[in-house]
């Protein structure tokens, strides 16, 4: 290990350690004065003096960094540790059995012919952290409430399965089906926590990417929100998030710490397993990740508990009156501690204690074996219990526990602390024997020789298994467990949607406003009105939702402790502890986390919430696509509104706001039901059906989907619902909106969203100028049409002897004469999804490429999706079929000046949302 001037600089206590001391004598005088204050007046007086000095330094504009980290020792002093209520010997036996089965399960998954992978080392490092939680803290759901919400670290899933096996919650057959979900169905176990794959077991999908910590913060906030609004009693629920120190590098892991501190979420505890290793090497080889994280969390306003060393260090630290040992701990980088985890006691004696006679003297009476077993705090049940108890008792702040461990702990010298340990998943016979001996597992050598070791169960009547059951009974049931006990909601009838179905009359409104009007009527409903959770990233006014401010109000646990600048206005900004609207600031990630927490409340707390998340569509699936997958994985429900949708409707804002692809991204998410409606009456039917599918039935009937609607900011006149409206077609994805009444040459135009009015205008031009009789179809969902067609083809492929099914889009368009032209404000890939099933020649128009700032008309002419371009596309297809002369095409290009973008009617302004 480097030392002295050769050592890489590291931050100690928030101060740069490499700053030179030009006057050591003066420095010593200051230090002596502080020592005298501590010795004569006590620590509290010394603390006050230090704070006053810092205050005066700031007054004098002396740039002194704040002290954001403390010494590299446990936050909780030995004398302050509470009584440990458990039986440590029994808990050790339980943990040993769990460790064995977790490792064996992954090792057996690599038997010949299988080889499905897995992770051993992560749980090995964090086993004690989980065990103390299971035995003493994690509350179950047997009391009918939500219990605790636990976000398990994804790579630790084998340990959670192994514990469930000991409790007879999982069988040996299921353990042997780890990562074989289909081939071993229905016994397969998912690789990581995954509610959709194991809906009765896991509650929260977590693995890497920082989505676990982000979700945990907003889950804790949602618990407070539900209690404040009188929807569910969440007062006893605590949110635990188990994370890795490497995972904390993800921006999502730390990006929303401030909201947890700002709202005082003392119902939230992060447990960061600091085993000092990433996937391939040290997290901070030249630094100290625990110190770094302490600074970040403390600076964000969290309560920080460091759990660095186990009880074997207590006697050494007690005799460290000069601070030499603490200084050594402070200045030793993580990379060196990782090396110590793999070396001998003699090496540690020479390299850690050996460079100072005072340190050597501390361990002179210790054997090398004793030095070797100076351990990390995350493996000590009593120390872990003390940290958890302190976290639960702390009020006013969220807590983070930074627990130091060794990756691969107890797995033997080939695993412990090795850089490659994360990728290692197969134990050799020698590894197994050493592992067995260390854990005192009664399995004979002969059963380990073939490399396919057996599981170990001490017996259902053994004291350790009975102890496990007793502890879980006392804490309210087994975890993890996902329970759906929400009752069906009484949904409003057709009357609630009547206004939207009447159209907008002479008034022009955007589809965004049409949706908001429907939402306003739904929120008035006595049965479900209070269950709507409105979510927007600082854009309520943009989407015309400021009308909700006076009645629904914005949720703030502190209320509104100021006079709003617009308090005299009708739509004044109003905050309330019981507010219904979540205003998460400019954070799409935070809003989506709120959406997920609200959308899964029906399972988490047995009380359905109906989240409505509205955002700029460009900043939805593209910006937080991982979270929408997380939403589908968590079986969350609700409505997602991509407002200001399309490539050309918000052109004044330019490229960054021009969304031509979110519908395509939405099509990749199996849990997403996506629509691109054109009119208010279509939205009314879609929303009504969405509420029915997600909330209107029994738990078995309700579907685990969420709805994505793209709505626009371009004002149009919305027609009244036709008397013979094709509701089935609206919901399935396509219906004939306008039949051609004039002309003789038949053609078909399919359009979605804001493009439907262009198609209607093209229908008029074709009839008036080209003798073409075109029908206009509103394609409310290209995605749903494709999804149904794919399902049909799959059935036909696997059932060749049964009557072959026909996709809905084919059946719907059969009999429609002429070529088909599809158009939307999306890239062509969106309408191209259904091309193979359209019964006729098919051409699509779309806004492919980058967006730009201009008028709507110019943008649509540039992409050739405006009414005149649709006319040309229809004529082109008719010419291909020989129904018109090709000379008409050049005539159309010249007549409408289609090569000159500036010739297009600029239309309404496209810059305002």
Tell me: the pLDDT tens digits for 397-449? Answer: 999 999 999 988 888 777 776 765 556 667 888 888 998 999 999 999 999 98
Residue range 855-904, pLDDT digits in tens? 999 999 999 999 999 999 999 999 999 999 999 999 999 999 999 999 99
Which of 129-143, 420-434, 684-698 shows the lowest per-residue confidence on average (mean pLDDT)? 420-434
Work out the pLDDT band at 9, boundaries 50, 70, 90.
very low
Q: Are 10 and 286 in contact (CB under 8 A)?
A: yes
Instruction: Determine the pLDDT at residue 208.
Output: 64
Work out the pLDDT band at 111, boundaries 50, 70, 90.
confident
- Alpha carbon distance 237, 610 (integer Å): 21
Instruction: Determine the pLDDT at residue 8.
Output: 36
- Alpha carbon distance 149, 206 (integer Å): 13
Is residue 97 over pLDDT 80? yes
Two tokens, residue 817? 């004469």
Work out the pLDDT band at 657, boundaries 50, 70, 90.
confident
Is residue 275 over pLDDT 90? yes
What residues have CB less than 8 Å from 106, skipping those under 6 apart? 118, 119, 120, 158, 178, 425
Which of 109-113, 447-451, 838-842, 909-913 shows the lowest per-residue confidence on average (mean pLDDT)? 909-913
- E strands, 298-433, are 303-307, 399-404
Instruction: Determine the pLDDT at residue 424.
Output: 63
Q: Are 199 and 482 in contact (CB under 8 A)?
A: yes
Q: Are 852 and 859 in contact (CB under 8 A)?
A: yes
Is residue 66 over pLDDT 80? no
Two tokens, residue 204? 């929260």
- Alpha carbon distance 252, 590 (integer Å): 9
| pTM of the predicted model over 0.85 | yes
Work out the pLDDT band at 13, boundaries 50, 70, 90.
very low
Q: Of 39-43, 120-124, 552-556, 890-894, which one has max mean pLDDT?
A: 890-894
Two tokens, residue 45? 């007086």
Is residue 623 over pLDDT 60? yes
Question: For 343-370, what is the mean pLDDT?
Answer: 94
- Alpha carbon distance 137, 267 (integer Å): 13
Instruction: Determine the pLDDT at residue 17.
Output: 44
Strands 239-244 and 268-274: parallel
**Among 650, 603, 655, residue whose Cα is nearest residue 631:** 603
What value does the mean pLDDT of the chain take?
92
- Alpha carbon distance 209, 202 (integer Å): 18
Run of H or E including 392: helix 381-393
Report the number of secondary-structure helices (H) and strands (E) in the chain. Answer: 33, 22
pLDDT cut 90: percent of the chain above it: 78
Is residue 272 over pLDDT 80? yes
Given phi > 0 = left and psi -120 to 50 = alpha, else beta, which region is 309?
A: beta
Is residue 619 over pLDDT 90? no
What residues have CB less than 8 Å from 477, skipping those under 6 apart? 140, 141, 142, 147
Work out the pLDDT band at 912, boundaries 50, 70, 90.
low
Q: Are 125 and 407 in contact (CB under 8 A)?
A: yes
Question: For 128-138, what is the mean pLDDT?
Answer: 98
Is residue 7 over pLDDT 50? no
């Amino acid at each position: 290990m480097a030392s002295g001037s050769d050592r890489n600089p590291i931050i100690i206590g928030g101060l740069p350690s490499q700053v030179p001391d030009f006057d050591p004598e003066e420095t010593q005088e200051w230090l002596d004065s502080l020592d005298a204050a501590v010795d004569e007046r006590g620590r509290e007086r010394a603390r006050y003096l230090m704070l006053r000095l810092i205050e005066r330094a700031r007054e004098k504009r002396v740039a002194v960094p704040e002290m954001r980290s403390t010494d590299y020792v446990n936050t909780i002093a030995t004398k302050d540790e509470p009584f440990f209520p458990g039986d440590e010997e029994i808990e050790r036996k339980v943990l040993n059995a769990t460790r064995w089965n977790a490792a064996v399960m992954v090792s057996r998954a690599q038997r010949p012919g299988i080889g499905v992978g897995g992770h051993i080392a992560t749980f090995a490092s964090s086993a004690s952290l989980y065990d103390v939680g299971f035995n003493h803290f994690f509350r179950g759901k047997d009391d009918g409430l939500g219990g605790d919400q636990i976000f398990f670290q994804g790579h630790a899933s084998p340990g959670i399965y192994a514990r469930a096996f000991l409790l007879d919650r999982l069988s040996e057959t299921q353990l042997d089906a780890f990562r074989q979900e289909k081939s071993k169905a229905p016994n397969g176990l998912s690789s990581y926590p995954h509610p959709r794959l194991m809906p009765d077991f896991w509650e929260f999908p977590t693995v890497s990417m920082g989505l676990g910590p982000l979700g945990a913060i907003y889950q804790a906030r949602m618990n407070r929100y539900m209690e404040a609004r009188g929807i569910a009693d969440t007062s006893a629920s605590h949110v635990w998030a188990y994370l890795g120190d490497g995972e904390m590098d993800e921006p999502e892991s730390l990006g929303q710490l401030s909201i947890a501190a700002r709202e005082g979420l003392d119902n939230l505890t992060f447990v960061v397993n600091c085993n000092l290793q990433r996937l391939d090497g040290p997290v901070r080889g030249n630094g100290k990740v625990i110190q770094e994280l302490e600074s970040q969390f403390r600076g964000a306003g969290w309560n920080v508990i460091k759990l660095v060393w186990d009880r074997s260090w207590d006697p050494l630290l007690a005799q460290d009156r000069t601070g030499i040992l603490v200084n050594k701990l402070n200045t030793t980088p993580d990379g060196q501690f990782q090396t110590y985890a793999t070396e001998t006691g003699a090496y540690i004696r020479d390299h850690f204690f050996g460079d100072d006679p005072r340190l050597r003297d501390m361990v002179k009476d210790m054997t090398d074996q004793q030095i070797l077993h100076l351990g990390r705090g995350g493996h000590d049940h009593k120390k872990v219990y003390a940290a958890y108890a302190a976290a639960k008792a702390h009020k006013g702040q969220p807590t983070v526990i930074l627990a130091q461990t060794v990756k691969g702990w107890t797995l033997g010298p080939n695993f412990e602390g090795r850089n490659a340990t994360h990728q290692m998943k197969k134990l050799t016979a020698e590894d197994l024997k050493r592992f067995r001996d260390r854990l005192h597992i009664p399995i004979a050598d002969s059963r380990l020789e073939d490399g396919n070791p057996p599981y170990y169960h001490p017996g259902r009547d053994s004291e350790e298994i009975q102890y496990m059951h007793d502890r879980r009974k006392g804490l309210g049931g087994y975890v993890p467990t996902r329970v759906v006990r929400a009752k069906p909601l009484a949904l409003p009838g057709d009357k609630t949607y009547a206004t939207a179905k009447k159209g907008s009359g002479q008034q022009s409104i955007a589809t965004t406003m049409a949706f908001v009007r429907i939402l306003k009527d739904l929120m008035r409903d006595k049965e479900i009105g209070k269950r709507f959770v409105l979510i927007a990233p600082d854009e309520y006014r943009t989407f015309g939702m400021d009308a909700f401010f006076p009645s629904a109000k914005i949720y703030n646990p502190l209320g509104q402790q100021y006079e709003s600048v617009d308090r005299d206005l009708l739509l004044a900004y109003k905050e309330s502890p019981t507010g219904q609207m979540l205003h998460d600031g400019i954070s799409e990630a935070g809003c989506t986390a709120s959406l997920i927490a609200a959308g899964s409340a029906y399972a988490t707390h047995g009380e359905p919430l109906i989240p409505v998340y509205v955002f700029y569509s460009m900043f939805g699936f593209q910006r937080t696509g991982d979270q929408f997958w997380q939403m589908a994985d968590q079986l969350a429900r609700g409505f997602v509104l991509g407002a200001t949708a399309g490539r050309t409707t918000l052109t004044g804002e330019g490229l960054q706001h021009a969304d031509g692809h979110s519908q395509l991204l939405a099509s990749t998410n199996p849990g997403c039901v996506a629509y691109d409606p054109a009119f208010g009456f279509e939205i009314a039917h879609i929303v009504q059906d969405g509420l029915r599918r997600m909330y209107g039935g029994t738990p078995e009937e309700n579907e685990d989907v969420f709805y994505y609607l793209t709505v626009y900011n371009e004002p149009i006149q919305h027609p009244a619902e036709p008397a013979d409206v094709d509701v089935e077609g609206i919901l399935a994805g396509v219906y004939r909106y306008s039949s051609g009444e004039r002309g003789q040459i038949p053609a078909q135009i399919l359009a979605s969203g804001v493009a439907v009015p262009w198609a209607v205008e093209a229908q008029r031009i074709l009839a008036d100028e080209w003798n073409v009789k075109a029908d206009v179809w509103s394609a409310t969902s290209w995605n749903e049409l494709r999804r149904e067609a794919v399902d049909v083809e799959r059935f036909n492929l696997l059932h060749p002897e049964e009557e072959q099914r026909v996709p809905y889009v084919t059946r719907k368009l059969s009999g429609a004469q002429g070529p088909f032209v599809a158009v939307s404000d999306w890239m062509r890939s969106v309408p191209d999804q259904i091309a193979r099933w359209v019964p006729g020649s098919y051409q699509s128009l779309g806004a492919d490429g980058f967006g730009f700032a201009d008028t709507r008309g110019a943008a649509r002419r540039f992409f050739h999706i405006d009414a005149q371009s649709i006319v040309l596309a229809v004529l082109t297809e008719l010419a291909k079929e020989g129904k018109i002369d090709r000379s008409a095409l050049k005539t159309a290009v010249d007549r409408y000046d289609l090569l000159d973008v500036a010739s297009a009617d600029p239309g309404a302004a496209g810059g305002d949302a």
